[in-house]
Structures are given as C-alpha cells and as structure tokens.
Amino acid sequence: MNRQCPFAIDALGGDVHAEAARVREQGPATRVLLPGGVSAWAVGRSADMRRLLVDPRVSKDAYRHWPAWISGEVGEQWPLAIWVSVQNMITAYGSEHARLRRPAAAAFTARRAAGLRPRIEEVVGELLEDLAASAPGGAVDLRTRFAHELPTRIVFELFGIPEHSWGPLHKIINAFFDTGITAEEAQRNAADLDVVMADLVAHRRRHPGDDMTSALIAARDTATDPRTATATTDAASTDAGAGGGAEGAGLSEKELVDSLILLFTAGYETSVNLICTALHELLRNPAQLALVRAGLASWEDVVEEALRIEPPAFYGLLRFAVEDIDMGEGVVIGQGDPILISFGSAGRDPEVHGADADRFDVLRATRGQHLSFGFGTHHCLGATLARLECAVAVRRFFETFPAAALAGAGELGRVESFISNGLRELPVVLGPRAPVAD
C-alpha cells in the first residue's frame, strides 16, 4: 500500500467533503499530491488523527524533520512554502514548541478572551445598526458586511494594528489562504507581508499599548536584554524541569514576526468562516433555528455543530514523521514523509458521528467531538475567542432580524482553497427589523 498511486488534492477546494470521504475510504493514510507536485500522506479518520496529533513521532518542524525541505528539493519557490517556512509555535516541535507557545499563551489567556465580550457585543451592535440603516428589508452579503467585519475589528484591535495596515493585511491574508496561486504570486505576497509586519512591529515598539503585539514585543525584548538574561535563563531552566522544555527563552525577531503572523491570520480567517457557516446553516435549516428559539438548544450548540460540519480550516499543513509510523492495515508512513491532517474529514467521520454525519443537527450528541481547533499540544489558542465571537454574532443577528432568509436558491460558492473552508459570499434578505425594546 505504500506504493499506491497518489491522487491530487484539488488546490481550489472544489469539493473538499467528497475528497475527504475518498481519503477515509482508502485506509488509515493514503498518498496524495499537493499543489506543486509535493507528495504527502493524507489522514482522514478521526481516531487515526487523534492518535497522530499526540504522537511524539510526529513533528511540525520542516527544518528538522522534512528531508526534502532540508535538502532544498522543496524550497521557497513552492507555492505553499510559507506554511512550513515560518518559525513559530505552529511549526515547532518538542521543547521548541513549548518555548514559542509560552509567550503567546501568557499574553492571550482564556480570561483575556472572555474579557472581550463587552467589546464584541458593542461591535456586533454597531454592525447590525449599519445593516438595518443601509439595507432595510433588503438583501445584503453577510460575509462582507457582518462576518468579515466583526473579527477584523476585534482581532486588529486586540493586536494593536494601525488602521493604515488593515487594507494591506486583508489583501495579504486572502492570498495567504489562496492555495491556487502561483509560486511567483506566493513569493510576492510573502514579501508584502514582511514589509507590513516590519512596519507594525516598528510602530508598536515606538508606541506600545495594551495589545498582543506590544506584549509579545516586550517578551522578546526583555528576554534579549543583557540585564535580564540571567533571570530569563533561570526561568527557562525551571520550565524545562517542569516538562516545558526551553532551549533559549527569548524569541528571535523572526520568531516574533512569525508568531504575530500566525496569531492574527488564524484569528481572523477562521472566525469569518465560522460565523458564515453558523448563519448559513440556520438560515437553510429553519427547523434547527426553531429548536434554539424554543430553548431546546443553545447558541453554543450551534457553534459546535457548525465547527463540526464545516471546520474553518479543512486541512492542516504539514506534519512530518520523525521515524517510521505503522498506521495498521499494511500502511507505514516513512521517516521524513509529510503528513496532511484532514480536520474537515474528522467532523464528518461516520464512525464518530453516524450515517447522517453530513446533516446539520444542533442536538447531535457528538457535536463537540470535532478537531476543528486541533488536538493535543497544538490546540488553537484562539478557540475561546472564536467561539465567543460566533455565539454573540449569530444570537444578536437573529434577534435583530427574526425573518431573515437566504436570497435565492442553490448552492453558494466557496472560497478557492483547500485549507481555508468557508463561503465566498452569503447573500441574505434581512426582512423587517425586530422592534427595539425601550
């Protein structure tokens, strides 16, 4: 089975769920070709993914564990190179992962995310007022006017990103997740990203504030200040002894920038997709919305089922076998081979969710048994914030526009990506606004 003929992953994500079903049917892992002709193993069964995601024989560090990257056979010219070339916690392994995750985790706690609820409620209210004023009873694209705007304002404020950078960053992030772009376009986008990020870090060094960027800059600059080197080293040793494992406590400048790239791109794109999915599923399944309105299910149940049925990120790039891994059924992932994790496939695995796994059901007992925010050491730090944004946005939308309906019939177009998983647009007729309470 190790010699089976690979099939090509659709770079534009034309039918990711049919593709995921094919991956599941092929066995515990199957050979696939990624854009640019890179061969990898795709894993689509939930149980196999959960096992690999906590297996110490699986790394995310291409510089240490992907021979094709180390040798230059696959390099910066690969259209998806940015997914493995960045050096932050998402691409780190072992003690390096602990070292790189620690500053971000300290700056972005669940308490800090929960503390954003008043601001989220405020922004949602402003956006709904804008919708009611500009399109009374008419049709509007909720992705552009609502789902996109909420996480943009929250995440960019959270990271202290100046408004003059918002437009360029939107353009860059969209290209970041466009897995059909050429190598030249990808390299140009990466260069643009370097310029914008250098500007952001320089701006926040000159004007620090109560934001995530300033907090990470302070953590990096304090750790590299000779006056604090001893204290930092001692702290690293303590963490290593406790199992955290740190090989040098401070972030390099590249690690600082790459950590910021990870945190706000993931925090923005995933939330946009999640809000769109939750709104869309309730709009096309009015019986499910009725269950929530009757108090038989919560808005949090809606969020979990939306995460299960349409994970905001469909595939996770890339992991690597530190040594040979026997997957069973005659399949062995060889040392150094890249591994593609299909989070979207896990959400519709019939072995977990039953024969009707393709159906949206807010009462589904397994709605929370998804991998949409990862699993194990790489579990998403922003999961609390994304869930909160979505629950508030969806609740307030249907409270404000109780008669909202999809504009037109038929399937809606999806973003052209096999990584990002969301609607390209969400046209909705708002209907009359609910009376405003005195």
Catalytic residues: 266, 269, 271, 380, 389
HSE-up of residue 401 (Cα within 13 Å, Cβ side) = 28
**Quick one: 155 exposed, middle or buried, by C-beta within 10 A (0-12, 13-18, 19+)?**
buried
Alpha carbon distance 342, 345 (integer Å): 5
Sign of the C-alpha dihedral computed for residues 353, 356, 358 and 360 taken in this order: negative
The tokens for 414 are 């999806």
CB 219 within 8 A of CB 255: no
Alpha carbon distance 70, 62 (integer Å): 7
Instruction: Return the number of other C-beta atoms located less than 10 Å from residue 37's C-beta.
Output: 9
Q: How far is C-alpha 78 from the chain's CA centre?
A: 21
Strand partners, 129: none
Nearest to 88 by CA among 76, 77, 99: 99
Distances (CA, A) of 381 to 89, 102, 113, 169, 231: 11, 11, 10, 21, 26
State the Cα angle at 164 between 160 and 170, rounded to 5°.
Answer: 85
Q: Are strands 30-34 and 38-43 parallel, antiparallel or unpaired?
A: antiparallel
CB 381 within 8 A of CB 263: yes
The tokens for 118 are 């008043």
The tokens for 417 are 């990506």
The tokens for 155 are 């995440």
Alpha carbon distance 196, 382 (integer Å): 22
Three-class DSSP category at 314 = coil
Sequence-ordered list of residues with C-beta below 8 angstroms from that of 299, at least 6 positions apart, any chain: 292, 391, 394, 395
